[in-house]
Amino acid sequence: MKGSAGRPPASGQPDATELLRALDAGLSPALLERALTHRSYAYENGGLPTNERLEFLGDSVLGLVVTDALFRGYPDLPEGQLAKLRAAVVNMRALAAVARDLSLGEYIRLGRGEEGTGGRDKSSILADTLEAVIGAVYIERDLSEASALVHRLFDPVIARSARLGAGLDWKTSLQELTASAELGVPEYHVEESGPDHQKLFRAAVWVGGHVYGTGAGRSKKEAEQQAAEAAWTSISKGEGPLEGEEFRTRNGQPGLGEGEAGRAPGHRGNGRNPGDRDGGSPGSAG
């Protein structure tokens, strides 16, 4: 079996020991290898087994564990809101973020074509591979071990999602927050870079003429959601807008429109600074 446990990893593939340690689920190297095998790699290497069956299984295990956690953890939420909260936790973007935290993309076995088009950081591939890993833990260990892994990886996602508003996405929650505080309507400025097959989008969100959050991702939506989350957190804590050097480096992302931190593109709003809500008059200028 190519690349089986006990043999060194294929050329260019990092050893998966660190990933096994991070998962801490008692998974064997051989089954982890299967869970990491994308169909593009399998097809280019003589039709090896892919991770797709494990992904199918892991999707159901993840859904069951998250649903159970929400049912028990939020007894006062009605069925419709529980369904929305579950969708916010197990969607592709959320799964890909968890996978990135594990550096899972470094370990995926990809074909040359998929590798050349940025497959290691594609949200769809990361999400599918994470589900395959969960399925592998279930099939080799048991439901309790798979459940423990899901809780370790997704309890923070559940807690973060539960803080969102009725729309259960950060853009909606930010708009609700700025509306309730009479801060104006959030506006998003997005830049893109890179070749067509490997685009990177960088977003900044403006509120009342100031930037309160930035984000980056492989899609415009992902970048805007990250920026909205950063802005929601900043405003909720009563922090001021991003300015100068802080604007360029906060949240680990370079700023957009350097030198324009005090000017929004066609912004609307009353110019109020959320950081002033606890002091001074509510209508004071920012």
Active site residues: 59, 131
- Give the bridge partners for 188, in sequence order: 205
Strand partners, 234: none
- Residue 253 is inside which H or E element, if any? none
How far is 90 from 88, CA to CA, in rounded Å?
Answer: 6
CB 186 within 8 A of CB 209: no
Q: For the chain, what is the radius of gyration of the CA atoms?
A: 22
CA distances from 59 to 89, 134, 146 (A): 12, 8, 12
Query: Residue 14: helix, strand or coil by DSSP?
Result: coil
Q: What are phi and psi of 65, to 5 degrees?
A: -65, -45
DSSP code for 242: B
Q: Which amino acid is at 196?
A: D
Count the neighbouring beta carbons within 10 Å of the beta carbon of residue 149. Answer: 23
218 token code pair: 């492989």
Query: Which residues touch 131 (CB under 8 Å, ≥6 apart)?
Result: 54, 55, 58, 59, 62, 95
